[in-house]
Chains A and B, each alone.
Chain A
Amino acid sequence: MGHLRRAYLGTMSEVAWRLPGWPQRLLTEFSLAERGSMVDMLAAAQATPRREMRRKYFLHALDEGRHAGIFAERVKALSGGRVARSDAVIEDAGLLQDHGIVGGKTLFERLGELEFLAFVFVAEADAVEQFGVYLDRKLPDPETTAALRDILKDESFHVSYSKLECERYRREGKPVDAALRAVRWRRMKEGWMRFTRDFGEWASGFWLLLLYFGAVGPFRLIARLESGGWRSASGASAVARNGLDEALAAARLES
């Protein structure tokens, strides 16, 4: 499995890093992923009931923040000061997508301490393997490779400490193997869900586009954009005159 994964990563990276504009795109994604990890680790530092873990999560978060900065600097350097608008997210507050907050709950709150540590271990080990492949192949350029080597040291430390903590839980009789299995299953499931979501977006987009040209087009003959200037207020928001019941009925309307 490991060999297969490395072969897959190697092949993909040979292609991806060499396409024009892709190194910037990939490094932007890495930067955002590291920023998202920082958010997750800080949330864990805030929420953990195990006080001895707080500093470890906190330092881990600082590492992730530093990595995000390193990747962002590489994007800028590779762009020659002309960061594409699609990568502008590294310059300003972007909509950070790669984080573990779902339904108002952080990754730590959703998983609990043991599974969270297992998640850190598995995710960081995957990152070490992934970055190792890039380093082996000296991709994409010497400066980025040097940055990756620097980051790899931190990631290896993250693997070590999370592994040690998992081992500690194992000695306490906690179901570490089950947690690791759950995390791997969760990552596979989330990967599949990402695929189904992306595929669904593409497919529904295709059908909606057909509808757009088939059904929306004819209505263009009737539709007009609003003209500028002041006009009487529609007053949809105003409240009925006739007492509380009507006022509430109007306020309940979504329209």
Chain B
Amino acid sequence: MPVYVLGISALYHDAAAVILCDGVIIGAAQEERFSRLKHDASLPIRAAAWCLKKAGITAADLTYLVFYEKPLRKFERILATSVATFPKSWGAFPRQMRTWLGDKLWLRGTLCAAFGVRPDRVLFCEHHLSHAASAFYASPHTEAAVLAVDGVGEWATTTLWRGSGTSLTPISEVRFPHSLGMLYSTITAHLGFAVNEGEYKVMGMAAYGQPRFRAELDRLLKLDPSGGYALDLDYFSFHWHPTRSGTPALEALLGPGRFPGAPFTPEGGAAGGAARAESQRWADLAASAQAQIEDAMLHLVRHAKAAVGTDALCLAGGVALNSVANRRIAQEGPFAHLWVQPAAGDAGGAMGAAMWVWHAVLGHPRQPGLARADLGRSIPVDRAREMLTDLGAKFEAVDDPPASAAADLADGKVIGWVEGGDEWGPRALGHRSILADPRSAETKEHVNSRVKYRELFRPFAPSVTAADADSWFDIPAAAQEPACWMLTTAAVRPEKQATIPAVVHVDGSARVQVVRPTASPVFHQLVSEFGRLTGVPIVLNTSFNLKGEPMVSCTVDAMASFVRSGLDVMYVDGLRVERPK
């Protein structure tokens, strides 16, 4: 009988389920793709049901179910922090205790009831160990330093591990409330974006500014000579306030925060002088926060090298999704190889917990590293055909979908592209993507404003064939692997920038995806064909979703986003769908 391990992450944000059969990943899915609730944190019942179906088993066949956190340690941290911040924590305390005492504390029973497993089959893996395992065991490296950096799990906010074969040895940790993730989230909130959602926007905004608030921000975070860091807690309230993450002292230091949705116009436009100056202030603040997190990460990475000494570094946790910081780590850091898995945030914890059970608890040898990200739900073509017919869509089956799509792109069309399984993680890697021709400067504004209805300043990523990547982008040698998952930025070669203006950010960089034929064969064909037609083996690639919604997963979701957006045409696994009149 094979050993089936179901990994679960949930109840904070980005719930997910992953199933392993004898250590091999059978399926990995985020609950938001099923429920259509972005960052859905509820128990991933639908994602788990899909995993079980994919594996061809029922819950009774599961050998183990593993949750990605140790709930009692988290409760200890919340209670201890409330006591230590008495009486300021009076607003947060009743809410937290009500939730924990009435619900979250009794997680084992909840998991058993929700997923139909026996209590003795339920295991728990520490939050940061789940992160570390998700990076190390999914990597091709057998010896590596592993650094996990996020907001907070149980107590740890930053952890360093030595990965060797199947073992992960904890070395050191930084504890809550000192947290780089919470620092960046606090600035994200100050800039009027939602925490756990708007961090990418801060990164995009940063390129428009200069880090002139760096001195102020350095008062919030002190890097110590031993390679660690500490926050000045006078500026933060996330550890005691129910909703706010910064204190009035933070506002006094950095100036008033941005209102959510306030126009951001650093490059002029219709905005007057005052609005433009205010936009520039936000951009400068974003640039300062970005520079600070990059420096802090480099500081931690150098400590990791000194403490562990391997050639490879595996990064995990939400902060590892900061692709600009990853580039600097690869360029300026001491490691020869950098690895970040596609779902480096909390969703990835489900995979890490499951892999930890297989390798560390059960003691089985390593598997080959993660090679593909299309680990989620796919659409049977007959089902897609039936759905599209019922929805009244005008569509046709095409013989060579990549060639047809490439021709549409070369013709200036913006297309929705659904092929194979859902991507694992937040990046669209050519399976649930909106694609466009990167050669026109207008494309960026068109896709932002009339296709995705989102902020105009947000950049788009280029997807380039692996064979052509070096001739267009200066990808740091250590970042070759993260580039496959769109988890690093790279400088666009100066002589090429004018050719692909839609995917070059204002600072001349791009969050590039290097498309390997082994990882995404069909998408690789599409980009190659576009290169053959136009001489530019690059397409603009952004996630197939509209603002505030998760990436599309099934045909109905795709069709709903298609008709509400300004897309010209959509492909669903070989079916070419015309835009309804």
A and B touch in the complex (CB under 8 A): yes
Q: List chain A positions with a Cβ less than 8 A from chain B.
A: 35, 38-39, 42-43, 45-46, 51-52, 54-55, 58, 61-62, 65-66, 76, 79, 81-85, 87-96, 99, 101, 103-104, 201, 204-206, 208-209, 212-213, 216-217, 219-220, 223-239, 244, 247-248, 251-255
A212, B83: Cα distance in complex, Å: 9
Interface centre among A39, A46, A90, A219 (most CB of B within 10 A): A46
The 7 closest A-B pairs by CB, nearest first: A228-B230, A104-B45, A233-B170, A237-B126, A93-B38, A88-B260, A92-B194
A61, B556: Cα distance in complex, Å: 11
Check if B391 is an interface residue, CB within 8 A of chain A.
Answer: yes
The A-B contact count (CB < 8 A) is 239
Check if B485 is an interface residue, CB within 8 A of chain A.
Answer: no
Contact partner of B73 among A101, A227, A236, CB < 8 A? A236
Closest to A239 in B: B360
Evaluate contact between B172 and A39: CB separation under 8 angstroms: no
Chain B residues contacting A233 (CB-CB under 8 Å) are 156, 159-161, 170-173
Q: Which of B42-77 contact A (CB under 8 A)?
A: 42-43, 45-46, 49, 66, 70-73, 76
Evaluate contact between A216 and B83: CB separation under 8 angstroms: yes
Evaluate contact between A229 and B229: CB separation under 8 angstroms: yes
Check if B531 is an interface residue, CB within 8 A of chain A.
Answer: no
Chain A residues contacting B260 (CB-CB under 8 Å) are 83, 85, 87-88, 91-92
Chain B residues contacting A81 (CB-CB under 8 Å) are 259, 261-263
Q: Which of B518-577 contact A (CB under 8 A)?
A: 548-550, 554, 556-557, 559-560, 563-564
Evaluate contact between A39 and B37: CB separation under 8 angstroms: yes
Evaluate contact between B87 and A93: CB separation under 8 angstroms: no
Known: A39-B35, A251-B361. A204 touches B49 (CB 8 A): no
A-B pairs with beta carbons under 8 Å apart, 9 shown: A81-B261, A90-B261, A220-B84, A225-B233, A230-B227, A231-B173, A234-B156, A244-B363, A254-B70
Evaluate contact between B72 and A254: CB separation under 8 angstroms: yes
A186, B197: Cα distance in complex, Å: 35
Evaluate contact between A88 and B98: CB separation under 8 angstroms: no
Chain B residues contacting A51 (CB-CB under 8 Å) are 386, 390
Check if B394 is an interface residue, CB within 8 A of chain A.
Answer: no
A39, B557: Cα distance in complex, Å: 10
- Nearest-CB distance from A1 to chain B (Å)? 35
Contact partner of A209 among B49, B93, B108, B125, CB < 8 A? B93
How many positions in chain B have a CB within 8 Å of any CB in the partner chain? 103
A81, B270: Cα distance in complex, Å: 15
* Interface residue stretch chosen among B116-124, B329-337, B395-403, B462-470: B116-124
Contact partner of A223 among B80, B120, B229, CB < 8 A? B80
- Nearest-CB distance from B378 to chain A (Å)? 15
Closest to B119 in A: A252
Q: List chain B positions with a Cβ less than 8 A from chain A.
A: 35-39, 41-43, 45-46, 49, 66, 70-73, 76, 80-87, 89-90, 93-95, 97-98, 102, 107-108, 114, 120, 122-126, 128-129, 154-156, 159-161, 169-178, 189, 192-194, 197-198, 222, 224, 226-231, 233, 239, 243, 259-263, 303, 357, 360-363, 386-387, 390-392, 548-550, 554, 556-557, 559-560, 563-564
Closest to B13 in A: A95
Chain B residues contacting A234 (CB-CB under 8 Å) are 155-156, 170, 173
Chain B residues contacting A253 (CB-CB under 8 Å) are 70, 124
Evaluate contact between B84 and A223: CB separation under 8 angstroms: yes
Closest to B174 in A: A230
Known: A62-B564, A83-B261, A230-B303. A42 touches B556 (CB 8 A): yes
Chain A residues contacting B89 (CB-CB under 8 Å) are 212
Evaluate contact between B303 and A216: CB separation under 8 angstroms: no
Evaluate contact between A76 and B390: CB separation under 8 angstroms: no
Evaluate contact between A212 and B37: CB separation under 8 angstroms: no
Evaluate contact between B73 and A255: CB separation under 8 angstroms: yes
Known: A231-B173, A251-B124. A94 touches B94 (CB 8 A): no
Closest to B240 in A: A225
A255, B173: Cα distance in complex, Å: 18
Closest to B102 in A: A204
Chain B residues contacting A96 (CB-CB under 8 Å) are 37-38
- Nearest-CB distance from A46 to chain B (Å)? 5
A76, B93: Cα distance in complex, Å: 33
Contact partner of B172 among A61, A213, A230, CB < 8 A? A230
A138, B222: Cα distance in complex, Å: 57
Evaluate contact between A99 and B85: CB separation under 8 angstroms: no
- Nearest-CB distance from A209 to chain B (Å)? 5
Chain A residues contacting B161 (CB-CB under 8 Å) are 233
Evaluate contact between B123 and A248: CB separation under 8 angstroms: yes
- Nearest-CB distance from B230 to chain A (Å)? 2
- Nearest-CB distance from A56 to chain B (Å)? 10
Chain B residues contacting A226 (CB-CB under 8 Å) are 155, 175-178
A92, B84: Cα distance in complex, Å: 33
Closest to A202 in B: B94
Closest to B229 in A: A228
Closest to A46 in B: B556
Evaluate contact between A225 and B37: CB separation under 8 angstroms: no
Chain A residues contacting B94 (CB-CB under 8 Å) are 204-206, 208-209, 212
Known: A51-B386, A61-B560. A216 touches B86 (CB 8 A): yes
Chain B residues contacting A225 (CB-CB under 8 Å) are 81, 84-85, 177, 233, 239
Evaluate contact between B230 and A229: CB separation under 8 angstroms: yes
- Nearest-CB distance from A117 to chain B (Å)? 17
- Nearest-CB distance from A150 to chain B (Å)? 17
- Nearest-CB distance from A188 to chain B (Å)? 25
Closest to A61 in B: B560
- Nearest-CB distance from B432 to chain A (Å)? 16
Chain B residues contacting A231 (CB-CB under 8 Å) are 172-175
Chain B residues contacting A79 (CB-CB under 8 Å) are 259
- Nearest-CB distance from A239 to chain B (Å)? 5
Evaluate contact between A236 and B126: CB separation under 8 angstroms: yes
- Nearest-CB distance from B559 to chain A (Å)? 7
Evaluate contact between B126 and A229: CB separation under 8 angstroms: no
A230, B304: Cα distance in complex, Å: 11
Known: A42-B557, A45-B556, A237-B170. A217 touches B226 (CB 8 A): no
- Nearest-CB distance from A36 to chain B (Å)? 9
- Nearest-CB distance from B74 to chain A (Å)? 10
A83, B260: Cα distance in complex, Å: 6
Interface centre among A39, A101, A223, A229 (most CB of B within 10 A): A229
- Nearest-CB distance from A62 to chain B (Å)? 7
Chain A residues contacting B122 (CB-CB under 8 Å) are 252
